[in-house]
Chains A and B, each alone.
Chain A
Amino acid sequence: MDSLESTFNSIVKQYSERLYWHLRRLVNSHEDANDLLQEVFLKIWQALPSFRGEAQVYTWVWRIATNEALNHLRRQQVRSALRLTSFEEEMDHRIEADPYFNGTAAQRELAKAVARLPQKQRQVFVMRWWDELSYEEISAITGTSVGALKASYHLARQKIQESVSEQILPEDD
């Protein structure tokens, strides 16, 4: 096994599970998350020879994963528009029908509220709340300033709190 493949396998071992959960939270489907994960790691493999360590590995792989997920969601939105259906309603239905969900009703409402957020707010919320990344890490991944990220996160929390029926988010940290 050459060093490139060895490096790739290390990345798989270290990041595959975390990236799965990250994708799952963005697309709300195990099947889509799994498919995207395959695409993400294919892209990582293809880009690995030209990766010169300009960014930290986790920043690089997270950025690839996030971009793939956001492109996937954009395609879904366009499909909904072409079918004259509501993307939000389709996401609600997807979350309701998820066979791999075993949380509370409040957690389901949270997932739906996050799915309705504008793209940037959804992205920041997922990374901060579920991925538990620091603002500095999110800034390195997205290229957005820490200040702007804090503002996006604050707005996301407000919108979520307005749309869920009970207090499910602890106070801002």
Chain B
Amino acid sequence: MSRNNDIFTPEGYFEALQQNLQAIPAKAQARPAAAVRLAPWLAVAASLALLVSVGLFSFRKTAAPAEEWTDWGYLSYLAQSLDPDGVLMEMEQPGELEDEDIIQYLLNEGISVDYLNETNYETDY
């Protein structure tokens, strides 16, 4: 007797399941690869990164050594010198950080779940 007799699925689930899963190859081929979809955004990001790098390099070469500039000061100078018409400054602000972004960042940084949730700490055998 199956030990899975305490849980069940919606009616007809398994009858439709194989058909749904076997449609995956067709769906995967119809959807452009992530790199193709992201290419325009990557181009914008690369251009901005280049602008910032050039701006910071120029700024550091010309700023008086005695002055103390904050990071915001650098960015303000950059905005004024590279974007006199204020186009960059008017660019839409990035959206609010989603939980998924935070989660993915933490996982990528190797932050231990135990560290985040100390009450769940248990010795790993």
A102 touches B7 (CB 8 A): yes
Q: For window 78-125 of chain B, which residues contact chain A by CB distance below 8 Å?
A: 99, 102-103, 106-107, 113, 116-117, 119-120, 122-125
Judge whether A155 is part of the interface by a CB distance below 8 angstroms: yes
- Name the contact of B4 in the complex, choosing from A16, A74, A87, A130 (C-beta under 8 A): A130
Which residues of A lie under 8 Å from residue B21 when comparing CB positions?
12, 16, 37-38, 41
B17 touches A78 (CB 8 A): no
B99 touches A79 (CB 8 A): yes
Judge whether A132 is part of the interface by a CB distance below 8 angstroms: yes
Which residues of B lie under 8 Å from residue A100 when comparing CB positions?
7-10
> Chain A at the B interface: mostly helix, strand, loop or mixed?
helix
B113 touches A38 (CB 8 A): no
Cβ of B110 to closest chain A Cβ, rounded Å: 12
B124 touches A118 (CB 8 A): yes
Q: Which of B22, B102, B124 has its CB near the most chain A CB atoms (within 10 A)?
A: B22
- Name the contact of B113 in the complex, choosing from A13, A17, A20, A81 (C-beta under 8 A): A81
Q: Please report B residues at the A interface, Cβ cutoff 8 Å.
A: 3-10, 13-14, 17-18, 20-22, 24-25, 28, 99, 102-103, 106-107, 113, 116-117, 119-120, 122-125
17 inter-chain pairs at a CB distance below 8 angstroms, sorted by A residue, are A17-B17, A38-B24, A46-B28, A74-B113, A77-B113, A78-B113, A80-B117, A81-B116, A82-B102, A100-B7, A102-B6, A104-B6, A118-B125, A120-B124, A121-B125, A152-B125, A155-B125
Q: Please report A residues at the B interface, Cβ cutoff 8 Å.
A: 4-5, 8-9, 12-13, 16-17, 20-21, 24-25, 30, 34, 37-38, 41-42, 45-46, 74-75, 77-82, 86-88, 98, 100-104, 107-108, 111, 118-121, 129-130, 132, 151-152, 155
